[in-house]
Amino acid sequence: MTDPFQRLSLNTITTKNWTLPDALDGAARAGIPAVGLWRDRVAEAGVETAAKIVRDAGLRVSSLCRGGFLTAADDDGIARAVADNRAALEEAATLGTDALIMVVGGLPDGSRDLPGARARVADRLADLVPHALDCGVRLVLEPLHPMFAADRAVLSTLDQALDLAAPHPADAVGVVIDTFHVFWDPGLAEAVARAGREGRIASYQVCDFNLPIAADALLSRGLMGDGVIDFATITAMVDAAGYSGDVEVEIFNAEVWATPGPEVLTRLKTRFAELVAPHLTR
Amino acid sequence: MTDPFQRLSLNTITTKNWTLPDALDGAARAGIPAVGLWRDRVAEAGVETAAKIVRDAGLRVSSLCRGGFLTAADDDGIARAVADNRAALEEAATLGTDALIMVVGGLPDGSRDLPGARARVADRLADLVPHALDCGVRLVLEPLHPMFAADRAVLSTLDQALDLAAPHPADAVGVVIDTFHVFWDPGLAEAVARAGREGRIASYQVCDFNLPIAADALLSRGLMGDGVIDFATITAMVDAAGYSGDVEVEIFNAEVWATPGPEVLTRLKTRFAELVAPHLTR
């Protein structure tokens, strides 16, 4: 069994106000061995430079956030989405991660056609798979909480993500299990087991669901222990499904963002030790 | 085929500021033939009096809102839930409706155990079924949007409601399809068809999902046409599944509540005519 702390990754949105060098330095000082990166902060530094400073810091990149936004119905929108995701796959490869997290996108303006948007996601995924294989990077589908079904991701459940992945090789298309987005699902245990059997679990992201829901619902993502999620049960499911990769802490939260980064990392490690690490056996 | 307007029902939360007599008078003046009532407004009038003024107004009661809140884990909480729901079944019978809408309840304070809470809902349902049959009133399970899974209803999908109903006779336990709560579900078409085959559809409630989500998420319920829901497709599903009962308009929305009742009813009828009625064939 690996020391669970060797599987801890800081998704850098958690320390949103830090630049990439700040975040890498902060993670390294806190003894966190991996980071999940965001494309905007990588672009600020430049991809090649980012890759070098990650290596110099002795860190791993657990994932790149994010590709996706595949639901455009017009030719220009489709072409832009494909080009942008091809670039993101290349950035992920340069950064040394095999996971590009995909938020698939919501309904185009004025549309109410969820099945149509889902069909376009499937089409774009097929367009992107060959380049993903060439890059050695997986397209990692992220089911988002159903409150975002219309405006952010028409992909709402883990089973739906697995169905979408099914036509493609497991090394081209995977799924991420993000506790905030899936904890409510009455079919979660079966879906996680299925994801394991099908070799699709590419990432595990932990984050609580805080109540009441924040005015900007996405900012209801809380530090583990601050909300309603049972991390013991979900972590044990993911563990039993065979996942042995990095565990990213990914928090969007105004209060966390207003807290100095080093303090956030201290709290995060404490909560990870209490609530998540005891349930990791691999 | 019935005139679709003969199937229109005003759920009286839509005109929240009206007392029961106000709402009955308003519905009758607007030519709306049915009402979905709330227990608090019924209690203000007294159940027997309420039943009489409904009859005198020449209206039907399409449902009573609401029973449920079945997730208590302590003996006192369980006894209170059973007693309250038995009373609600009797009130529904007195009011002449066979549908008691059930919002099953969220996690008890401090609990994070969704499967445990769901198991208690199943247990309480079994406790209540004999009295439902005696009263001639169905316990109508309402799956709520997953954003309420922790604090309001651990029942989140139509399939989950049908699984919960399955051990019981269809005339004791039904389901309500509320567009706001289920529109996001990638399995909706199959679940609605299943609900029809299993004889479980006891109510159809229409209401839009407005974006951005309101600060109090429940108040994101909007007038049909104001949000992201495809009423044509969902109404056609419910129709194809054989449902021929009342269609309740049930809106929780600060702006709607601030609008004079008669104006709300005028708008509601217009939107119903445009977006829902054309897809009702029974």
A104 contacts on B by Cβ (under 8 Å)? none
Put simply, the answer to whether B230 touches A183 (Cβ < 8 Å) is: no
B213 contacts on A by Cβ (under 8 Å)? 147, 213, 217
Among B230, B233, B275, most A C-beta atoms within 10 A, so best to mutate, is: B230
Residues of chain B whose beta carbon is less than 8 angstroms from a beta carbon of chain A are 107, 112-115, 118, 145-147, 149-151, 156-157, 160, 183-186, 209, 211-213, 215-217, 228-230
CA-based R_g, chain B, Å: 18
pLDDT of residue B1: 74
A111: distance to nearest CA of chain B, Å? Answer: 8
- For residue range B224-275, list pLDDT tens digits in order: 999 999 999 999 999 999 999 999 999 999 999 999 999 999 999 999 999 9
Considering only the beta carbons, identify the residue of B112, B118, B216 that sits closest to A228: B112
Angstrom distance (rounded) from CA B27 to CA B54: 11
Alpha helices, DSSP H, located in B96-230: 114-135, 158-165, 179-182, 188-197
Residues of chain A with pLDDT under 70: none
- For residue range A185-229, list pLDDT tens digits in order: 999 999 999 999 999 999 999 999 999 999 999 999 999 999 999
A267: distance to nearest CA of chain B, Å? Answer: 21
Angle at A182 between CA B160 and CA A156, to 5 degrees: 80
Q: What is the CB neighbour count within 10 angstroms for residue A83? A: 10
Say if CB B38 and CB B23 are below 8 A apart.
no
Round the average pLDDT of chain A to a whole number and report it.
97
Residues of chain A whose beta carbon is less than 8 angstroms from a beta carbon of chain B are 107, 112-114, 118, 145-147, 149-151, 156-157, 160, 183-186, 209, 211-213, 215-217, 228-230, 233
Helix and strand numbers (H, E) in chain B are 11, 10
Q: pLDDT category, B114, cuts 50, 70, 90?
A: very high
Among A184, A219, A221, A233, most B C-beta atoms within 10 A, so best to mutate, is: A184
Q: pLDDT category, B2, cuts 50, 70, 90?
A: confident
Question: Per the structure block, which two tokens stand in for B261?
Answer: 């009742």
Question: Per the structure block, which two tokens stand in for B59?
Answer: 């209206």
Among B160, B184, B208, B224, most A C-beta atoms within 10 A, so best to mutate, is: B184
Q: What whole-number percentage of chain B has pLDDT above 70?
A: 100
Q: What whole-number percentage of chain B has pLDDT above 90?
A: 99
Say if CB B2 and CB B241 are below 8 A apart.
no
Angle at A219 between CA A272 and CA B184, to 5 degrees: 105
Round the average pLDDT of chain B to a whole number and report it.
97
pLDDT of residue A70: 98
pLDDT of residue B189: 98
Q: How many CB pairs under 8 A join A and B?
A: 72
Put simply, the answer to whether B211 touches A150 (Cβ < 8 Å) is: yes
Put simply, the answer to whether B113 touches A209 (Cβ < 8 Å) is: no
Question: Per the structure block, which two tokens stand in for B177?
Answer: 């399809």
pLDDT of residue B202: 98
Put simply, the answer to whether A149 touches B118 (Cβ < 8 Å) is: no
Put simply, the answer to whether B213 touches A211 (Cβ < 8 Å) is: no
pLDDT of residue A254: 95
B236: distance to nearest CA of chain A, Å? Answer: 14
pLDDT of residue B192: 98
Put simply, the answer to whether A217 touches B217 (Cβ < 8 Å) is: yes
Put simply, the answer to whether B217 touches A147 (Cβ < 8 Å) is: yes
Considering only the beta carbons, identify the residue of A113, A217, A229 that sits closest to B112: A229
Helix and strand numbers (H, E) in chain A are 11, 10
Alpha helices, DSSP H, located in chain A: 20-29, 39-45, 47-56, 75-95, 114-135, 158-165, 179-182, 188-197, 231-240, 254-257, 261-271
Say if CB B35 and CB B9 are below 8 A apart.
yes
Put simply, the answer to whether A114 touches B230 (Cβ < 8 Å) is: yes
Task: Return the sign of the alpha-carbon dihedral for residues A158, B177, B255, B104.
Answer: negative
Q: ipTM strictly over 0.90?
A: yes
Angstrom distance (rounded) from CA A272 to CA A206: 9
Say if CB B27 and CB B281 are below 8 A apart.
no
Say if CB A231 and CB A178 are below 8 A apart.
no
Put simply, the answer to whether A156 touches B230 (Cβ < 8 Å) is: no
B145 contacts on A by Cβ (under 8 Å)? 146-147
Angstrom distance (rounded) from CA A180 to CA A157: 12
Considering only the beta carbons, identify the residue of B107, B150, B213 that sits closest to A217: B213
Put simply, the answer to whether A147 touches B147 (Cβ < 8 Å) is: yes
3 state SS of B165? helix
Q: State mean pLDDT over B178-189.
A: 98
Burial class (CB in 10 A: 0-12, 13-18, 19+), A48: exposed
Q: How far is CA A88 from CA A107, A138, B116, B231, in A?
A: 22, 11, 42, 37
pTM over 0.95, yes/no? yes
Which residues, at least 6 apart from A263, have a Cβ–Cβ distance to it below 8 Å?
none
